[in-house]
């Protein structure tokens, strides 16, 4: 084959390789979410209440402790924390209801969760309820609020000494 | 399916060979091209890092500076960085499919195959990390989706997605970790790539110079035509609705969104596990023949088999009983039974004055004495009406069995480089045939990596054992046409016969003239 024809053929092959490559490296566009919805993110990071109460160390009751430790410790406190009971209701419909266990081998760490929901834009009534103490019936924390969601808006509900909407 | 893929590659091979010549054919050097693209990505990445600001607020702006204000250098570097990584992704995928379709993944080759699977994950992780750093809407989408994908695993104590709640909660600290990962993961990939080729002698990690030059030129043209640009800056207060997506590396993301993280993990991990155990799954491919055996009595310790073994299965040790001499040793775990070593052995000469032909190293089931008797028997059965041709072919290249006729004998073997050059000399010198045709895999695409390269070098006297000068070159032809070139080889055998017939007739004419001159004189 003539050299020029060879190079021309190669140019064509390079084009056949790179043109589709360039195309699929950004097209076709991916439709991830409709325009008429918003995103509600619920992210809670909160330690539940300790389950049980501290008990005094009475002389003679070692509780498996070494004698040296017994001299210093006057009471023994449980470590296990309550799991969180969390509920999200929008316009009367329960979108999320879950028990979030405490982390850690002894369930003595914080409980944390993340969930996101797509919600139609417009006005809504939002209710968030949480129980962080198994000793209490019902919910220990609540949020009842009317919200107005804009298209593609991201609303975050988190918790810091009470529910907050951002 | 394997047959279909192989046919597809056969068609592509022919097409690319016509345009690029076999020596530059990118389909024969997909691994080397992957290395080449990696180095482009690494070199351009170092340059881009100079201008890149490793913070949430500065990342997108610094990428804009790179692409807009310094488009002529940094912008082009960015395009090279992006497109070379995409090209590497495609080359690696084709490389995997090709090795699968050509049954080059089982037996001794399991190591290269299995070590390649984690490289796919590292390659994808490297590329995804790069997209993340730009911190545009595509990065926002993959950051949140990746976080949700990993949060599905029970190993996460705190949900990773909590890092991307909104603009107010976003922290530079996580971003610094990403920069670290985008350097660390590609370095791990490079290490893995070297492990991947560890068991291969003379692994080809650089493509042909002409192909490399052409690729760089093509990439420059593409970078000027469609420079890699960022999308709109990320804003975590606004949800991503529609984005441009790199479908080469980010193709699992829509799956995560639609199927959910669990099913996507199951698919990708399941696919990886399947690929990992593939070399040991029952299949209809040929079972590997017994490995090469060394005969110490006939091994003179020359080391030619060591030099020619494509899988480093041959080493040398002190001779069993000849003091001061060495002998070859075959590692059965590395030997692939190609027989290239037998073709390299100087003892494999049918001219040797021994009662029974023996050699220093051979493949059981295809011993050199069996090859000789097969050659002699097949050629003795041929008629003498037309020039006789001996066709040696390989089991993975052009199908030579179909070419046998009254004047053509054919023998197929694991690799044609198993034929010692002395055999060709012997066949022609003893006038067992008028011509010898050597065929096999496509040029540059030997099933056993180096068979046709070594054969070419032996014939051109660049590699021992050489084809002696006394062998008339017009009576020997080498054609590397591959499986897809079987028909073409058949035509060329006929053409070879016609050429030899012309020579014979010319010789007869010359003899008649000489006789006439002698009688007149």
Contacts of B118 (CB under 8 A, 6+ apart): B192
State the DSSP H helix or E strand holding residue B60, giving kind and residue range, or none if neither: helix B56-64
Give the 3-state secondary structure of residue B436. strand
**Domain definitions of chain B by residue range:** 2-280, 293-512
Residue A60: predicted pLDDT: 54
Please give the CATH topology (third level) of the domain spanning B2-280.
Cytochrome Bc1 Complex; Chain C (1.20.810)
Question: Are A25 and B83 inside 8 Å of each other by CB?
Answer: yes
Residues A7, A46, single domain; the answer is no
Give the 3-state secondary structure of residue B362. strand
Q: Looking at the 3D structure of chain A, how many domains does it have?
A: 2
Dihedral, CA of residue B166, residue B169, residue B175 and residue B178, to nearest 10 = -70
Residue A1's pLDDT band, with cuts at 50, 70 and 90, is: low
Evaluate whether residue A12 is within a structural domain: yes
Residue A104: predicted pLDDT: 86
Give the 3-state secondary structure of residue B219. helix
Evaluate whether residue A111 is within a structural domain: yes
Question: Are A10 and B18 inside 8 Å of each other by CB?
Answer: no
Please provide the average confidence, as pLDDT, over all residues in chain A.
86
Question: Are B19 and A22 inside 8 Å of each other by CB?
Answer: no
Chain A contacts in chain B segment 193-222 (CB below 8 A):
214-215, 217-219, 221-222
Buried b (16+ CB within 10 A) or exposed e, B137-146: bbbbbbbbbb
Predicted confidence (pLDDT) per residue in A109-126, tens digit: 899 999 999 999 999 999
Residue A68's pLDDT band, with cuts at 50, 70 and 90, is: low
Evaluate whether residue A6 is within a structural domain: yes
Domain region containing A12: 1-30
Question: Are A116 and B157 inside 8 Å of each other by CB?
Answer: no
Residue A58's pLDDT band, with cuts at 50, 70 and 90, is: low
Residue A61: predicted pLDDT: 60
**What tokens does A128 get?**
């968030």
Contact residues on chain A for B169, CB-CB shorter than 8 A? 156
pLDDT below 50 — which residues of chain B? none
State the DSSP H helix or E strand holding residue B213, giving kind and residue range, or none if neither: helix B209-225
Contact residues on chain B for A154, CB-CB shorter than 8 A? 166, 236-239
**CB neighbourhood size of B480 (10 A):** 25
Evaluate whether residue A135 is within a structural domain: yes
β-pairing, A75-76 with A84-90?
unpaired
Evaluate whether residue A147 is within a structural domain: yes
Evaluate whether residue A5 is within a structural domain: yes
Residues A25, A38, single domain; the answer is no
Evaluate whether residue A57 is within a structural domain: no
Question: Are B165 and A41 inside 8 Å of each other by CB?
Answer: yes
CATH number at residue A133: 2.60.40
Given phi > 0 = left and psi -120 to 50 = alpha, else beta, which region is B473?
alpha
Residues A9, A38, single domain; the answer is no
Torsion over CA: B299, B301, B303, B306 (sign):
positive
- Nearest beta carbon to residue A39 from set B82, B159, B239: B239
Residue A63: predicted pLDDT: 59
Contact assessment for residue B348 and residue B308, using Cβ atoms and an 8 Å cutoff: no
Residue B183: predicted pLDDT: 94
SS3 track for A75-136: EECCCCECCEEEEEEECCEEEEEEEECCCCCCCCCCEEEEEEEEEECEEEEEEEEEECCCCC
Evaluate whether residue A92 is within a structural domain: yes
Asked whether residue A53 carries a pLDDT value surpassing 90, the answer given is no
Contact assessment for residue B409 and residue B391, using Cβ atoms and an 8 Å cutoff: yes
Q: How many residues does chain B have?
A: 521
């Amino acid at each position: 084959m003539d050299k020029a024809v060879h190079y021309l053929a190669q140019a064509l092959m390079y084009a056949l390789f790179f043109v589709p490559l360039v195309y699929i490296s950004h097209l076709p566009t991916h439709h991830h979410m409709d325009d008429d919805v918003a995103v509600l993110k619920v992210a809670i990071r909160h330690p539940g209440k300790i389950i049980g109460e501290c008990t005094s160390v009475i002389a003679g009751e070692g509780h498996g402790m070494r004698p040296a430790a017994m001299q210093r410790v006057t009471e023994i406190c449980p470590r296990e924390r309550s799991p969180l009971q969390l509920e999200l209701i929008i316009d009367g419909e329960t979108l999320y209801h879950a028990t979030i266990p405490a982390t850690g081998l002894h369930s003595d760490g914080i409980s944390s969760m993340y969930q996101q929901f797509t919600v139609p834009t417009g006005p809504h009534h939002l209710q968030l309820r949480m129980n962080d103490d198994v000793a209490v019936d019902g919910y220990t924390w609540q949020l009842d609020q009317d919200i107005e969601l804009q298209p593609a808006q991201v609303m975050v509900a988190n918790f810091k000494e009470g529910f907050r909407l951002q | 399916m394997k047959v279909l893929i192989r046919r597809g590659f056969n068609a592509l091979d022919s097409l690319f060979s016509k345009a690029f010549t076999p020596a530059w054919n990118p389909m024969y050097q997909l691994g080397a091209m992957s290395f080449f693209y990696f180095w482009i990505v690494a070199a351009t990445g170092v340059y881009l890092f100079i201008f890149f600001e490793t913070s949430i607020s500065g990342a997108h702006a610094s990428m804009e500076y790179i692409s807009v204000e310094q488009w002529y250098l940094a912008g082009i570097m960015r395009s090279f960085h992006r497109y070379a990584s995409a090209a590497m992704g495609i080359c690696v995928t084709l490389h995997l499919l090709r090795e699968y379709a050509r049954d080059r993944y089982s037996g001794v080759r399991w190591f290269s195959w299995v070590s390649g699977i984690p490289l796919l994950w590292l390659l994808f992780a490297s590329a995804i990390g790069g997209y993340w750093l730009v911190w545009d809407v595509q990065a926002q989408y993959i950051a949140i989706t990746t976080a949700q994908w990993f949060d599905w695993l029970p190993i996460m104590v705190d949900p990773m997605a909590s890092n991307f709640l909104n603009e107010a909660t976003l922290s530079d600290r996580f971003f610094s970790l990403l920069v670290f990962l985008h350097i660390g993961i590609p370095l791990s990939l490079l290490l893995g790539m070297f492990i991947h080729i560890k068991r291969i002698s003379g692994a080809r990690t650089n493509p042909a110079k002409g192909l490399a030059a052409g690729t760089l030129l093509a990439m420059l043209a593409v970078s000027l035509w469609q420079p890699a640009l960022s999308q709109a800056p990320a804003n975590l207060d606004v949800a991503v609705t529609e984005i441009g997506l790199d479908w080469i590396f980010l193709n699992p993301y829509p799956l995560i969104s639609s199927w959910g993280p669990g099913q996507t993990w199951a698919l990708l991990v399941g696919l990886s596990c399947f690929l990992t155990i593939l070399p040991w799954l029952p299949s209809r491919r040929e079972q590997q023949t017994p490995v090469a055996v060394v005969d110490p009595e006939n091994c003179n310790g020359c080391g030619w088999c060591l030099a020619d073994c494509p899988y480093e299965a041959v080493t040398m040790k002190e001779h069993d009983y000849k003091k001061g001499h060495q002998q070859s040793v075959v590692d059965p775990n590395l030997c692939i039974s190609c027989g290239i070593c037998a073709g390299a052995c100087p003892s494999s000469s049918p001219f040797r004055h021994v009662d029974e032909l023996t050699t220093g190293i051979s493949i059981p089931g295809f011993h050199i004495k069996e090859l000789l008797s097969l050659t002699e028997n097949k050629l003795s059965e041929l008629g003498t009406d037309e020039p006789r041709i001996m066709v040696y072919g390989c089991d993975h290249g052009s199908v030579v069995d179909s070419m046998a006729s009254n004047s053509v004998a054919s023998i197929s073997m694991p690799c044609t480089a198993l034929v010692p050059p002395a055999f060709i000399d012997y066949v022609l010198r003893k006038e067992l045939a008028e011509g010898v045709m050597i065929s096999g895999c496509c040029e540059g695409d030997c099933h056993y990596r180096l068979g046709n390269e070594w054969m070419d070098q032996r014939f051109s006297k660049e590699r021992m054992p050489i084809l002696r000068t006394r062998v008339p070159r017009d009576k020997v032809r080498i054609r590397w046409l591959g499986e897809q070139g079987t028909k073409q080889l058949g035509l060329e055998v006929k053409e070879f016969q016609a050429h030899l017939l012309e020579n014979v007739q010319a010789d007869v004419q010359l003899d008649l003239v000489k006789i006439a001159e002698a009688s007149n004189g």
